[in-house]
Structure 1
Amino acid sequence: MAPQIGMPQSGWGLKAMLAALMALTSLSTDIYLPAMPTMQRELHGDAELTITGFLIGFALAQLVWGPVSDRIGRKRPLLIGLALFVVGSIGCALSQSIAAVVFWRVFQAFGACTGPMLARAMVRDLYERRQAAETLSTLTIVMALAPIGGPLLGGQILRLGDWHDVFWLLAVVGSLMLWTLRRLPETHTPSRRATTPARTALSDYRTLLAHGPFMRNTLCVAFFYVGAYAFIAGSPRVYIEHFHIDAQHYGWLFGVNIVGVMALSAVNRRLVRRFSLGALLRVSTGIAAAAMLAGLGLGLGGDGGLLAVAAPVFVFFTMNGIIAASATAAALDGVPRLAGSAAALIGALQYGSGIVSSLLLAALADGSPRAMVGVMTVFALAAAAMAFMSREDRSTAPSARLDAPRP
């Protein structure tokens, strides 16, 4: 199926724009990971709270932007969001305390959330189920450059300057994206927009929460991301302080996981043509859970060294090349008229899951890898449970789709 509206959306230019939007969150989080130990020492506070603050703002703001985009289109919310992101980045760069950084990170997140959320909604505007999964896999390959390059770039910035400069760079990146995206076409045409007032957004979310196939696929990816964010929040301390990895080399250990994601995303573009999304989710979440169980076993049996942590984490992250694209496409397929609100709810649960990770790590971390690996294992199992509870026929049956005209 070709893109559904008559604009040049199918070219690589648009896909590059969408990939950049989806990468915005990863870049905002990952680029300053090598600086977190330094920020904690200089600002005398818990640097992990800066991730928590970002994720709180990111999760809550999406619930507002999603219904708005269903009613006024995707482009205007994107441009407003990027402007807020730039202001928030400047605020972070000028901060002199952890509390100030957390405040501006929340502000920054209110704008940043429009990128990945509306990029997913735009893919749903343009493509049907399987092509949406294939397109999301393509975007994942491109957007994976951010979490690979982010920590590496952040480490090099620390060699030349300090952590403030990391946020100045984010302000520059946001400004460049804002200028570039002026040419982005509107994918959500007036004839396809929700016609109910924005105040009915709570009703939209109640409808989505009660939609079984949508929620099973959404919780599958959300649980997986609890584990992913446990690594993102916990790995600087585990790798740099426990295993004594140099901050400048931390990015390589972080980035190798994303190489696995990129490789499997490329394979997934072909897999979605041959296998059902439900089958792909069951296999990929099962592999991720098995890898983390093995890693947990090695950890409980004693300190198995860096490889005992890095190898299971690599397998876990690699499965994201299937899980994120397939679960998102399957979830959005049944709710086309509410794609913006649905993408917002997926994003709120997906990225808000990092709040759970950071709180669990704050309560359980003892300086060893055990807490991080334990959280990743529990939620990998939960993601697999959601995948095995899903049934392809239920999510694709016409009666299960929320595409009937709304009053």
Structure 2
Amino acid sequence: MTWAHVGHARSSGNSAASGPVIARAIVRDRYEGNRAAQVMSALSGAMAVIPMLAPSAGVLIMKFFAWPAIFVALAGFGALILLALARLPESAPAPISERLTFGSVLGAFGEMLSRRAFLGYQMAGSFSFAAVFCYLSTVAYFLPDVFSIPTALFGYAFAMTVLGFMTGSLINARVVVRYGLDNTLRTGLLISLTSALAIALLSPNAAQFMPVMALLSCLFFLGVGLTSANASMGAISLFRERAGAASAVYGFTHALLASAIGALAGELYRGRLIEPALIILACAVLAISGLALTRSSQTAKET
């Protein structure tokens, strides 16, 4: 029974992983450049509401039903998505004649990650997301250990950070067309780096600065909200005729790096905030260093 549950969960995870990949590819098929980043930001802001509502919805279901009802609810949600997809037209401009093989998938990874601009956008988006995973992997520990926050209030603390990400995404949707994808990406990375540095400096005495730390956390997530859509659309737009493959490479690398950093953060946690704070700061530094690759690629193209 246990292995069956594990198998079903893995199958669900594999299926769910296709959602972000296809969504990014559809946005890229239908929109160009800054407009693509604007649409992706609006989608990201809307999707950020789901993590805020999902825990409360789960608790409500468990209050009235046994745990299998959670999976019934997920199945119902999946059925609604299928109904919506039935009315969604194909977004690719032309039929894809290339056969999908294991070799072609590996070739796409090599081709795309070897391009400096793609790697730069990948670093900016993936290390920003990895910092989020570091937070998610340790927040349930440092809230009670460092700030003495009871378990009952975890949802509110999490909602504050999600609100920061949602705000950043919606701000980006308003400003990216005016100021450009690369400029807003740079601004988001600078906001994240500055707030991560402040968190690291205050972390030895974090309990004394709890309101400030909460504000800095929201600010960090706001920066990630400004970064996320711009980094993904910047990378995928480099391969206009292969948006699906580019989205898959970006998403796989994105998730692999984030999960590795999250696992590392969990292993290094010692009941203090300093370890997660330093990992988040390191991720912010690596994320903003990706701009050097995108800039050097643009300079080479101009010359």
**Normalized against structure 1, the TM-score is what?**
0.67
The superposition leaves residues 51-91 of structure 1 with CA deviations (integer Å, 9 ceiling, x where unpaired) of: xxxxxxxxxxxxxxxxxxxxxxxxxxxxxxxxxxxxxxxxx
The superposition leaves residues 217-242 of structure 1 with CA deviations (integer Å, 9 ceiling, x where unpaired) of: 01110011110111122212333565
SS in 2 for 1:187: coil
Distance in 1 (alpha carbons) for counterparts of 2:55 and 2:221: 16
Given that 1:157 and 1:165 are in contact with CA atoms closer than 8 Å, whether structure 2 keeps it comes out as: yes
Q: Which sections of structure 1, spanning at least 5 residues, go unmatched?
A: 1-94, 400-407
Shift in Å at residue 347 of structure 1?
A: 0.7
The correspondence for 1:195, drawn from 75, 95, 98, is: 98
| Compared CA separation, residues 356 and 395, structure 1 to 2 (3 A) | farther
Distance in 2 (alpha carbons) for counterparts of 1:396 and 1:195: 30
| Compared CA separation, residues 254 and 162, structure 1 to 2 (3 A) | farther
Given that 1:148 and 1:256 are in contact with CA atoms closer than 8 Å, whether structure 2 keeps it comes out as: no
Q: Which sections of structure 2, spanning at least 5 residues, go unmatched?
A: none
The correspondence for 1:281, drawn from 185, 200, 208, is: 185
Shift in Å at residue 194 of structure 1?
A: 4.7
Matched, 1:390 2:294: yes
Shift in Å at residue 248 of structure 1?
A: 4.3
Matched, 1:252 2:156: yes
Equivalent position of 1:344 in the other structure? 248
The superposition leaves residues 141-190 of structure 1 with CA deviations (integer Å, 9 ceiling, x where unpaired) of: 2111112112332344454456654444323322322233222211125x
Please show how residues 11-160 of structure 1 align to structure 2 within 5 Å: 103-160=7-64
Shift in Å at residue 304 of structure 1?
A: 3.2
Distance in 1 (alpha carbons) for counterparts of 2:104 and 2:52: 40
Distance in 2 (alpha carbons) for counterparts of 1:244 and 1:301: 13
Matched, 1:271 2:172: no
Distance in 1 (alpha carbons) for counterparts of 2:89 and 2:216: 41
Moved over 6 A (4+): none
Distance in 1 (alpha carbons) for counterparts of 2:166 and 2:219: 12
Shift in Å at residue 342 of structure 1?
A: 0.7
Distance in 1 (alpha carbons) for counterparts of 2:145 and 2:196: 22
Distance in 1 (alpha carbons) for counterparts of 2:10 and 2:268: 25
The superposition leaves residues 1-20 of structure 1 with CA deviations (integer Å, 9 ceiling, x where unpaired) of: xxxxxxxxxxxxxxxxxxxx
Distance in 2 (alpha carbons) for counterparts of 1:101 and 1:297: 44
Equivalent position of 1:14 in the other structure? none
Given that 1:208 and 1:215 are in contact with CA atoms closer than 8 Å, whether structure 2 keeps it comes out as: yes
Q: Which amino acid aligns with 1:259?
A: L
| Compared CA separation, residues 354 and 259, structure 1 to 2 (3 A) | same
The correspondence for 2:143, drawn from 236, 239, 255, is: 239
Shift in Å at residue 296 of structure 1?
A: 1.0
Equivalent position of 1:221 in the other structure? 125
Aligned residues: 302
Distance in 1 (alpha carbons) for counterparts of 2:70 and 2:145: 21
Matched, 1:367 2:278: no
Given that 1:229 and 1:353 are in contact with CA atoms closer than 8 Å, whether structure 2 keeps it comes out as: no
Equivalent position of 2:284 in the other structure? 380
Given that 2:125 and 2:228 are in contact with CA atoms closer than 8 Å, whether structure 1 keeps it comes out as: yes
Equivalent position of 2:232 in the other structure? 328
Matched, 1:358 2:262: yes
Shift in Å at residue 265 of structure 1?
A: 2.2
Shift in Å at residue 270 of structure 1?
A: 2.9
Given that 1:276 and 1:392 are in contact with CA atoms closer than 8 Å, whether structure 2 keeps it comes out as: no
Given that 1:296 and 1:374 are in contact with CA atoms closer than 8 Å, whether structure 2 keeps it comes out as: yes
Equivalent position of 2:109 in the other structure? 205
Shift in Å at residue 308 of structure 1?
A: 4.8
**Normalized against structure 2, the TM-score is what?**
0.88
Distance in 2 (alpha carbons) for counterparts of 1:166 and 1:361: 29
Distance in 2 (alpha carbons) for counterparts of 1:360 and 1:394: 34
The superposition leaves residues 88-128 of structure 1 with CA deviations (integer Å, 9 ceiling, x where unpaired) of: xxxxxxx65xx776554332211001111100001111111
Q: Which amino acid aligns with 1:225?
A: F
Q: CA RMSD in A?
A: 2.7
